[in-house]
Amino acid sequence: MAAKIILFLFLVFYNFKSMANELIKVLDQESNYVELKIIDKITSRLTVRKLKIKTLNNVKDFEIFVDKCILDKRKGFLETSALIQIKDKKDKSKDSVFLFNNWMFVSNSTINEIEHPNYDIWLKRCI
């Protein structure tokens, strides 16, 4: 009887673990991409750039490095977030400080905004 209970608990635990792996997917390889929307506030032009993960990308006046992207379905809908670092290439000060070094979310882009006078940058999706 005890063996049946242990086997039952093992199967239940294994089933929950496999379901958790399906609910969260981490994209952190160079073959994965992130799409960013970049709005030029001066000309009002919207550009969508497809950037490789784990690669330093030069886009407009920025150096953008995307470390990883997470696709999370635990809340019942797809929440996409990415860990992004952005440096301004025009800032020639000795202290190389990130303009942005945090997580970006697709569902709520106003949580972590980029403070820049000429550009707005948002996460569109991960591929």
What pLDDT sits at residue 14? 56
Mean per-residue pLDDT over the chain, rounded: 83
Task: Give the strand order in the sheet containing 119-126.
Answer: 45-52, 33-40, 119-126
Whether 113 is covered by a domain: the verdict is: yes
Whether 47 is covered by a domain: the verdict is: yes
Structure token digits, residue 78: 């797809």
Q: Is the pLDDT of residue 6 over 70?
A: no
> Residue 14 contacts by C-beta under 8 Å, 6 or more apart in sequence?
none
What pLDDT sits at residue 116? 85
Give the burial string for 3-30 (b: 16+ CB within 10 Å, else e).
Answer: eeeeeeeeeeeeeeeeeeeeeeeebeee
Determine the structural domain holding residue 99 and report its residue range. Answer: 24-126
Whether 14 is covered by a domain: the verdict is: no
What is the rounded CA–CA span in Å between residue 47 and residue 40?
A: 8
Whether 4 is covered by a domain: the verdict is: no
Q: Is the pLDDT of residue 42 over 60?
A: yes
Length reported for the chain:
127
What pLDDT sits at residue 107? 87
What pLDDT sits at residue 103? 92
pLDDT tens profile 70-126: 999 888 888 999 999 999 888 777 666 788 999 999 988 777 778 788 999 999 999
What is the rounded CA–CA span in Å between residue 61 and residue 66?
A: 16
Structure token digits, residue 26: 């981490």
What pLDDT sits at residue 38? 92
Query: Which residue has better confidence, 8 or 90?
Result: 90
Q: With CA atoms as reference, report the closest residue to 114 among 82, 90, 77, 85.
A: 85
* Domain count of the fold of the chain: 1
How far CA 32 is from CA of 6, 113, 118, in Å, comes to 40, 23, 28
